Structure 1
Amino acid sequence: MNSTNQLQNNSLTNSWLKLGILSLGFAGLYSIILVVLRTPQLSSFFPNPHIFKSALIIHVNLSVLIWLLSVTASVWGGETSLRGEANPRRGNLMKQYKISEIATFSTFARNDVFRLYPKLAFLATLLIAISPIAGHNPVMNNYIPMLENIVFIVGLSLFGVTLLLYAINILYFFDWTNLNSLVNFTVLSTIIMFILSFFCFGWSYNGLQNLIQIIPIEIEFYYELLFWSGGHLLQFIYTQILIFIWVSLFRELIARELKFQKFYLFLLYLNFIFGILTLFGHIFYDIIDGAFKVFYTNHMKYLGGIAPVLCLIGMGVELVWVFVIPRLDREIQTKYQNNVIDLAVKPRDDTVTINDRVIKTILLCSITLFLLGGLIAMNITGINVVIPAHYHGSIVGISIACMGFSYLGIGRYQRHCERLKRAWQSHEVIQKLPRLPRRYFVPPRNDNIINFTFYLLTFGQILHILGLAFAGGYGVMRKDPNSVMPMSAKLLMVMMGGGGFIAIVGGLMFVYICVKVMFFKSIKLAHE
């Protein structure tokens, strides 16, 4: 299995990561409005009732849909060979009919075509971010809330179609010879699930079009059903990426080959199969049937968390297997063999590197929030703010894992620039090479700051979701900042607001660190 650093092996991966980080930055700005409107005594700053819902819609789409799918796209690009000619895989009949030139745009330079996708996706993200200026007509629904204006719809459609074409192109050049690789199967399974999510959207759209010919339905109910099945499938894509990133980071943490790699591969297959089961909702139920929504709710409730929890159990057992058992063996040998230790069974030195501490921080924060979100889900009893508390916990746990994946990807720039810096300082190389532009150099990473950033974000989110969860027990309704609350609930919502502000600061710190390195790469050379 390749390491996380190897995933960041081409500029295509970095382009998608840049897009994801920018979307997080935009989402962070909108989250300020959300926290202010949810915090008592501060909501009067925004008297327009549509501002909360509009900000919530943009925040959700940027911080979940755009961000997580951008990271997913970066995994696709990083693990697919984009070198050589654009030849279809062996046995592809399309080659005989010259359709490959249409399907893959091979009339252009292959790399240029692939780099076009993140640029189009960035344009789509920008349209979504600025769409409230075209008018506030929010339509709330789960998974993909909508603003009913042309700018938002064009932006969302452009992003979806761009990523769909990119997925099809990646699938076309995919290496099918090694599906026992964790990386390869993650890429293949997430691409298939993403394409199938569009089938679900189309299936739902067709059913709704037939339905509205018979009876009129409200626009909120229309979009809720339109995105219900496909949105569920997207959650399994996020879970698949989460498992892959956890295992990738865990392998770097223990600095050795995984003993349970086949088990982790089995979990990826299992989660993939669970995701594919979403299609049965369309097969067995009509979209207007109440059992249609219940099927997907139960599907997520009973199957959504199985693979990630088993993954955590597997990593825990492997951690004991790799470190605790050899350490006990060493203690036994020390006690009964006069302190003569067999070096063959000596575990890794207890001294950890800075990078180890960063990975530990990422895993600890991600796992803590993900499990906390799952525990809160067990206490959902109505339509109140316990629901967003659960969702914030689980989805931010996934998001922190993706943030860690993105941050460690910057290590590629670091190592490359360190090599260039050493070469620059070599007198012989200076005589042979032209002066290198400043953009090839980046400042050294400050891992203490990034550790603090992740802990700050996690602490703020814990306060945020616990405030929401306990306030839900007092009947505070979701998606309604103006609901009447008792004093105890108000205090909890103040706690929620304070935690939200702390989390926003942590998130924006992360965005600042990554943007500074990825977009403004410079370092002061000794001779300048």
Structure 2
Amino acid sequence: MNVNFSAARPWLLLACFALGISALLAILLVLSRAPHVQEWFGLQSLFHTILVLHVNFAVLVWLLSFIGFIWVYHLTALHSSLNLLALALCSVGALLMLISPLFGDVMPIMSNYVPVINSSIFFLGLCLFVLAISILGGFVIREHDWGVMKASAMMWFVALFVFSIHFMVLEKSGSVTFFERLFWGAGHVLQFVYILILWLVWRWPNTTLLISQSRIVLVIVLFALGFMVFLNPEGIASRQAYTLLMQGGMFLLLLPMLWWWTREVKSNRLLDKTINVSIASSAFLILLGVIIGLLIRDDSVIVTAHYHATNAAITVAFMGLVYRFIPYYSLKSISNKWQSIQLYLYALGMVFYVLGMAGSGLLGVPRKTAMMVDDSLERISMGIMGLGGALSILATLLFMGFIFYAFTGKYRVTDQEKLRN
């Protein structure tokens, strides 16, 4: 397998840049909840706008750009000009999304999976970004045999197809309800793209799928398309169906992943300490997310805790893979000790954050608000969440510092075979 080693490098940097932006936006979110600070800087009125951007850069832009990096790395037939076109579209799209609040009186819409800013600039940026990922996905499907790569690209296009059909069927409006219904089905399908790539990262560089996983993927695709055809996206049945599909599909995909990880740990095959730390942290956060998901009863911040745990599990695994690439892209190096410290700090911070948020959710704190709390138990939960948020933000900034240090100045592209062994 020949890899596009040099062509993938800018995608890695773009993904890391998006993660850094999300960390800075997270700091603004924390300040918008802090007593007095929100009044001093006028952040309370901007809370939802900042939250929309944070979610999109911490999830959509960061994860899909990183997936773009993995796809390009494994492609052999991708022409350099098309790669540059996709990279430019992705970068410009992300930039337009980021600066969209600066133009006109915009309204943030807190839809699930893809919250949006009701601005033509934001929507243009989002469309360009999606187009860029689709260009890469098309090459992956055309070039690769069946495996994680092709399955993830196929799932991406299934999500786009579900979105397109729902867009045509739904009555257009600028309401939260419209965007909630628009992104609900596609957003659930998109989670399988992330999980499939997480499986690849855990077993890097193995791109095969287990027979059971292949069957599960095909069943998920059939059900997703079936729901799209036979269920009205405006009805409660469609909403419940996609939720059950994600819950059941995730469980069936994650089960062999966790089984594989326990076998690797017992056999001591994960000899690279940094990789071991990132995968162990990822596995623990996945389990935490599943447990919290079972506690969901209403639309409180416990829902947010659930998907923060899942997103953090993917993020910490991706961070571990980035560290693996640094010696081959850069003349500089980051010590294994500092890599492990950063990964542990991020995982610990996210565990505190998720547990604190789950506690707040069990006490009934609503989602997507900048409201202050009065109950002492709520304050304790919010305090734990605040501590976890601070640790995870610090860890992300530390990660960005390492990336900035490693990727500034001269870089090398040597010993490519080592990454595939």
Given the two structures, how large is their TM-score scaled by the length of structure 1?
0.73
C-alpha spacing 1:312/1:292, structure 2 compared with 1 (3 Å): same
- Per-residue CA shift, 1:185-204, capped at 9, x if unaligned? 11111111112221111100
2:122 maps to 1:166: no
Structure 1 range deviating more: 478-487 or 291-300 = 478-487
C-alpha spacing 1:381/1:39, structure 2 compared with 1 (3 Å): farther
* 1:245–1:401 Cα contact (<8 Å) kept: yes
Structure 1 runs of 4+ with >6 Å offset: none
* 1:40–1:490 Cα contact (<8 Å) kept: no
Give 1:224's aligned residue. 180
Superposition RMSD on alpha carbons, in Å?
A: 2.4
**CA–CA separation in structure 1 for the residues paired with 2:158 and 2:320:** 28
2:273 maps to 1:303: no
Give 1:333's aligned residue. none
Give 1:345's aligned residue. none
Give 2:236's aligned residue. 290
Q: Which amino acid aligns with 1:196?
A: V
Shift of 1:40: 5.0
* 1:385–1:477 Cα contact (<8 Å) kept: yes
2:393 aligns with one of 504, 508, 512: 504
For residues 35-50 of structure 1, the aligned pairs below 5 Å read: 35-39=30-34, 42-50=37-45
Q: Which amino acid aligns with 1:151?
A: I
- Per-residue CA shift, 1:195-227, capped at 9, x if unaligned? 22211111001111xx45xxxx66100101111
2:356 maps to 1:467: yes
2:57 maps to 1:62: yes
Aligned with 2:299: secondary structure? coil
C-alpha spacing 1:111/1:190, structure 2 compared with 1 (3 Å): same
2:156 maps to 1:194: yes
1:121 aligns with one of 90, 98, 122: 90
Q: Which amino acid aligns with 1:168?
A: G
Give 1:149's aligned residue. 119
Identity of aligned residues (%): 27
Shift of 1:20: 0.4
For residues 69-468 of structure 1, the aligned pairs below 5 Å read: 69-82=64-77, 110-134=79-103, 135-172=105-142, 174-176=143-145, 179=146, 185-208=147-170, 211=171, 219-248=175-204, 264=210, 266-271=212-217, 273-320=219-266, 322=267, 356-414=272-330, 442-468=331-357
Give 2:376's aligned residue. 487
Aligned with 1:117: secondary structure? helix
C-alpha spacing 1:485/1:305, structure 2 compared with 1 (3 Å): farther
Q: Which amino acid aligns with 1:206?
A: M
* 1:38–1:497 Cα contact (<8 Å) kept: no
- Any gaps of 5 or more consecutive residues in structure 2? 413-421
* 1:243–1:268 Cα contact (<8 Å) kept: no
1:51 aligns with one of 34, 42, 46: 46
**CA–CA separation in structure 2 for the residues paired with 1:64 and 1:245:** 17
Structure 1 range deviating more: 67-76 or 405-414 = 405-414
**CA–CA separation in structure 1 for the residues paired with 2:56 and 2:86:** 19
**CA–CA separation in structure 1 for the residues paired with 2:238 and 2:294:** 22
**CA–CA separation in structure 1 for the residues paired with 2:29 and 2:221:** 32
Shift of 1:388: 0.7
- Per-residue CA shift, 1:76-134, capped at 9, x if unaligned? 11112138xxxxxxxxxxxxxxxxxxxxxxxxxx3222222112211111222222222
Aligned with 2:54: secondary structure? helix
* 1:457–1:506 Cα contact (<8 Å) kept: yes
Shift of 1:309: 2.5
C-alpha spacing 1:300/1:485, structure 2 compared with 1 (3 Å): farther
**CA–CA separation in structure 2 for the residues paired with 1:271 and 1:33:** 39
- Per-residue CA shift, 1:148-188, capped at 9, x if unaligned? 1222111111101122123223433x044xx3xxxxx1111
C-alpha spacing 1:31/1:318, structure 2 compared with 1 (3 Å): closer
Aligned with 1:277: secondary structure? helix
Q: Which amino acid aligns with 1:132?
A: P
* 1:476–1:485 Cα contact (<8 Å) kept: no
C-alpha spacing 1:275/1:19, structure 2 compared with 1 (3 Å): farther
C-alpha spacing 1:203/1:476, structure 2 compared with 1 (3 Å): same
* 1:36–1:497 Cα contact (<8 Å) kept: no
The higher relative CO (CA closer than 8 Å, separation ≥ 6) is in 1
**CA–CA separation in structure 2 for the residues paired with 1:269 and 1:71:** 26
Shift of 1:272: 5.0
1:19 aligns with one of 4, 14, 17: 14
Q: Which amino acid aligns with 2:263?
A: V
C-alpha spacing 1:63/1:487, structure 2 compared with 1 (3 Å): same
C-alpha spacing 1:495/1:39, structure 2 compared with 1 (3 Å): farther
**CA–CA separation in structure 1 for the residues paired with 2:263 and 2:411:** 43
Q: Which amino acid aligns with 1:79?
A: H
Give 2:418's aligned residue. none
Aligned with 2:306: secondary structure? helix
C-alpha spacing 1:175/1:190, structure 2 compared with 1 (3 Å): closer
Q: Which amino acid aligns with 1:122?
A: S
Give 1:107's aligned residue. none
**CA–CA separation in structure 2 for the residues paired with 1:444 and 1:221:** 49
Q: Which amino acid aligns with 2:297?
A: T
Shift of 1:319: 4.3
